[in-house]
Amino acid sequence: MFHKPLLVLFFSFIISISWSQNHEVCFTFDDLTFVPYSHQDIGFQQMMTAKLLETLKENDIPAIGFVNETKLYQEGSLDEQRVGLLKEWLAQGFELGNHTFSHANYHQVGFEKYTQDILQGERVAKPLLEEFGRHYKYFRHPYLRIGRSKAAHDSLNLFLASHGYQEAPVTIDNEDYLFAAAYDKALASEDEGLQSKVGSAYIRYMEKKLLYYQQMSNKLFDRNIKQILLLHANALNADFLDALAEMYRQNGYTFISLEEALEDPAFNTPISKYGDWGISWLDRWALSLGKGGEFFEGDPRTPRFIRDLLK
Ligand SMILES: [Zn+2]
């Protein structure tokens, strides 16, 4: 006969292993150095970047930030304090990637201008990473616009590969930027009640988004793939990152790097359906597999009061 308490212990051990293996997420932050909204002063951006990075470290989150180098310039000249924000990410052990120089939309500017913007976007960061013994090797498409056709996507991927880049997909897309703009208003009005109301609504919304894409992954792959969450470098995420990390942990998640996430074979799933959209890779795979209509039902909406705050 098995010893019952030991047996229970054994099975809970197995369950906890499979639970954590199936719940992994990479946190990615776009639009570095920072999305300041009304808070343009460098002191605020330094303080918020420090808070963001400190909270990432406290929570053992191996995050990556994607840079728009246009943000390193002030009135046409390179601003050392803004370059200093990038150095902070690197000095504290975080990864950086290219997000084009000017946050260009591939669907609007076309291949030539877009690829020039990618190259212009590596002038400062690429040598900076090399100083830190790393390679500038990940690319995130602004607006998640990867090309309106297979030919446009393929030619971009060929260009990226020939310049040592790999595309950095997103599986958990969301509207954190709307909450962040609302939060900026709450900060500017020094309304602490509104700040915490926006923050709590943000975490609840992000949990619904997580569960939505987790369920989509299970429907498409019969398992929860390694997820990649899109976030932006802003004050909302600096102030509520701890709560966001806690919510992910409560849902059984551990935090992984982009390199680890991309080891998931799901990222080799072919995309055959294209359009003028910026969407999650889970959405792209679903569309490519012929899903439509009710398959996408239940996508959580940003609450009305957040949109109202932005009017
Ligand atoms: Zn962006």
Ordered domains of the chain (ranges, CATH): 26-309 (3.20.20.370)
What are the backbone angles phi and psi of residue 142, rounded to the nearest 5°?
-60, 140
Type of residue at 42? I
Given a cut of 70, whether residue 145 has pLDDT beyond it is yes
- HEC states along 106-121? HHHHHHHHHHHHHHHC
The residues pairing with 231 across neighbouring beta strands, listed in sequence order, are 29
Is residue 220 within 8 Å of residue 282, measured between CB atoms? yes
> Using N-to-C axis directions, what is the helix angle for 42-58 and 80-91, rounded to 10°?
0
Q: In angstroms, what CA-CA distances link 164 with 68, 170, 257, 267?
A: 18, 20, 19, 18
Centre of ligand 1 to C-alpha 31, Å, is 5
The pLDDT, as a whole number, for residue 12 is: 59
Banded pLDDT at 4 (limits 50, 70, 90): low
The pLDDT, as a whole number, for residue 207 is: 98
Centre of ligand 1 to C-alpha 9, Å, is 46
Centre of ligand 1 to C-alpha 100, Å, is 9
Centre of ligand 1 to C-alpha 104, Å, is 9
Cβ within 8 Å of residue 289, ≥6 positions away: 220
Centre of ligand 1 to C-alpha 37, Å, is 14
For residues 195-199, average pLDDT: 98
Centre of ligand 1 to C-alpha 286, Å, is 23
Q: Tell me: the pLDDT tens digits for 148-169? A: 999 999 999 999 999 999 999 9
* Max CA distance (Å), the chain: 78
Banded pLDDT at 7 (limits 50, 70, 90): low
Tell whether the torsion through CA atoms of 253, 167, 173 and 220 is positive or negative: negative
The residues pairing with 66 across neighbouring beta strands, listed in sequence order, are 97
Characterise 147 by phi-psi region: left (phi > 0), alpha (psi -120 to 50), beta (else). left
As a whole number of angstroms, the distance between CA 152 and CA 35 comes to: 29
**Spatial CA neighbour of 155 closest among 115, 105, 98:** 115
